[in-house]
Amino acid sequence: MKALKQQKIAVLLGGTSAEREVSLNSGSAVLQALRNRGYDAYAIDPQQTSVMDLKEQGFERVFNILHGRGGEDGTMQGLLEQIGLPYTGCGVMASSLTMDKLRTKMLWKGFGLPIADMEIVTAANAAELNPQAVVERLGLPLMVKPSREGSSVGLTKVKALEELKAAVDLALRHDDTVLIEEWLDGIELTVPVLDNQVLPAIQIIPEGEFYDYQAKYISDNTQYLCPAPLSEAKEAELRKLVKRAYDAVGCRGWSRIDVMTDSEGNFRLVEVNTTPGMTSHSLFPKSASQVGYIFEDLVEKILELSV
């Protein structure tokens, strides 16, 4: 097989999901890093170019930096396997599963891993929603989110009973399954995993009440503490939990797992990002830098893990 630097590399970016702009930014950074390291890399936007034709165009490997549906949900991974192109990141099953927050959490729960308590609403049963019953069981405030959307699209913090229905309606515009979760009022953490190594955790301190799209991609006031200020024992507990969560859903290559703590400091798994952001605000590069990876090193390592 040819050495990687002798192969023609497609950097998949953009796409058609709600996270298109983030993917374009991530892809531009990845493309520049690969070219800086001497790779024969090209930007490919599936919105403009058919991925089906990549092999015929001489491409031999794919760095997938598509975020959201159509790129991170198993469909692109399945297509790449059908045409026989190695690609970065998780395979078909893990990509498809982890795009669905509900089913990811149900699997984790089945493995005995900790998640937030929740209610599930679908487009089919939304008319039967009883906000009073939900609030009595889960309390206030609540977090309402679409099951299959990323980058904090469609999220609402519900502080009052009368706000719940509108929050569910908003989330249903993005997906036909919605999670209403108990509010976790501890700290917010994200933990990257690279080549089965759990990297240093990052604590996120958003400017607002939670880590929404504004805080992730626009605000310069969100604080990131890396490594997170955890005791040695809590850090070890977190690493073990994240690795179990990563393995349970079948991740490979690289992924980032979000975790929160409840009011008593207990960890609760939130979600998996199988194609983490690689922008100037992104967290995976921040963590990787703590163990010696500059950005170009990280991009090259992810490419080397492609299968």
Q: Say which of 17, 19, 60, 181 is annotated catalytic.
A: 19
Q: Work out whether strand 40-44 and strand 8-12 pair parallel, antiparallel, or are unpaired.
A: parallel
Q: 139: which DSSP letter?
A: -
Which distant-in-sequence residues (6+ apart) come within 8 Å of 86 by Cβ? 60, 61, 62, 80, 306, 307
Smallest Cα–Cα separation from 180: which of 196, 165, 190, 194? 165
20 in helix, strand or coil? helix
Cβ–Cβ under 8 Å, residues 275 and 254:
no
Exposure on the CB side of residue 129, measured as CA atoms within 13 A: 25
**Residue 258 annotated as binding?**
yes
**Residue 273 annotated as binding?**
yes
The C-alpha atoms of residue 236 and residue 242 are separated, in whole angstroms, by 10
225 in helix, strand or coil? strand
The C-alpha atoms of residue 101 and residue 99 are separated, in whole angstroms, by 6
**Residue 271 annotated as binding?**
yes
Cβ–Cβ under 8 Å, residues 198 and 256:
no
Active-site annotation holds for 95 = no
Query: In this structure, how many other beta carbons lie within 10 angstroms of the beta carbon of residue 100?
Result: 18
Q: Say which of 23, 95, 255, 282 is annotated catalytic.
A: 282
C-alpha distances out from residue 171 to 26, 133, 134, 139, 161, Å: 25, 19, 16, 19, 16
Q: Say which of 151, 255, 287, 306 is annotated catalytic.
A: 151
Find the distance separating the first CA and the last CA of the chain, reported in whole Å: 13
Active-site annotation holds for 151 = yes
Give me the amino acid identity at 48: Q
Active-site annotation holds for 19 = yes
Q: Residue 225: beta bridge partners?
A: 203
Binding site membership for Mg(2+): which residues?
258, 271, 273
- Positions annotated as catalytic residues are 19, 151, 282
Binding site membership: which residues?
258, 271, 273
